[in-house]
Amino acid sequence: MSEVVQRIPTLLWDNLQELVWRMDAVFLRDVAQITKIPYADLRKVIPTRGVSTRICTDGHEPWWSGLTCHMSVRRPGGAWVRCSSTAFEGICCFKHKNLEGREISRLPNGVLPHDSPRLAQLVRHIPIRVENVVYWVNDVPGFSEVYDIDGNVIKGLMINYAQRWILEIDKI
């Protein structure tokens, strides 16, 4: 692994640092309000300006992943999408709370835990943005069909994700 050094203009860097510091302050005020921990006490634990703080997470999974609902839902076109709602108590959101702890065979059609072996066997889709529209393509080499968020095939387009090539079939 090699390290790549990128130069950023000084004024841009200063403005970026200021923006991040302000966002940190707003975030800590929100945390203080929610947890009822005084803002000053949080600032003692999390250093102020000019001091980098490394916050460790478990494994390679983002910290919010553990707070996201455990269920995946099948969209009308057949694509499985993880529920993006927050799980406040337990592993499921309020909508799926009644499904928590059920065996997979007892879950309703179109709902499975996101780590289900059934979902692991499916073809994986990767998001790609084309002219400010998010599409989904198969995680395979070469050209792939293009899908919308529901899993419906978008006619007339093929995308090679690895090469970032778009092939408009209607124009051939």
The angle subtended at Cα 105 by Cα 101 and Cα 109, nearest 5°, is 100
Task: Give the helix/strand (H/E) hosting 23.
Answer: helix 10-35
- pLDDT attached to residue 34: 83
Instruction: Indicate whether 4 belongs to any domain.
Output: no
- Phi-psi map region of 132: left, alpha, beta (phi>0 left; psi -120 to 50 alpha): left
How far apart are alpha carbons 135 and 141 in whole angstroms? 17
> What confidence score (pLDDT) does residue 5 get?
66
pTM above 0.85, yes or no: no
Provide block-wise average pLDDT over 10 residues at a time, the chain (172 residues). Answer: 69 84 84 84 71 59 72 86 84 87 84 88 84 85 87 88 83 58
| Contact present, 161 and 137 (Cβ < 8 Å) | yes
**HEC per residue, 108-138:** CCCEEECCCHHHHCCCCEEEEEECCEEEEEE
**Residue 5 belongs to a domain:** no
Q: Output the six-digit token pair for 88.
A: 């406040």
Predicted confidence at residue 111, as pLDDT, reads 92
For position 48, what pLDDT does the model report? 60
Per-residue model confidence (pLDDT) at position 64: 61
Same domain, residue pair 34 and 74: no
Shared-domain flag, residues 36 and 76: no
Compute φ and ψ for 88, nearest 5 degrees. -80, -40
**87 lies in a domain?**
yes
Where residue 61 falls (left for φ over 0; alpha for ψ -120 to 50; beta otherwise) is beta
The kind and range of the H/E element at 61 are none
Here the contacts of 110-116 (C-beta below 8 Å, separation 24 or greater) are 110/73, 110/74, 111/71, 111/72, 111/73, 111/74, 112/71, 112/72, 112/80, 113/70, 113/71, 113/72, 114/70, 114/71, 114/72, 114/82, 115/70, 116/72
Q: What's the number of domains the chain is made of?
A: 3
Task: Determine, yes or no, domain membership for 54.
Answer: no
Q: Are residues 110 and 131 in the same domain?
A: no
Given a contact cutoff of 8 angstroms between Cβ atoms, the answer to whether 75 and 81 are in contact is yes
In which domain, by residue range, is 40 found?
A: 10-45
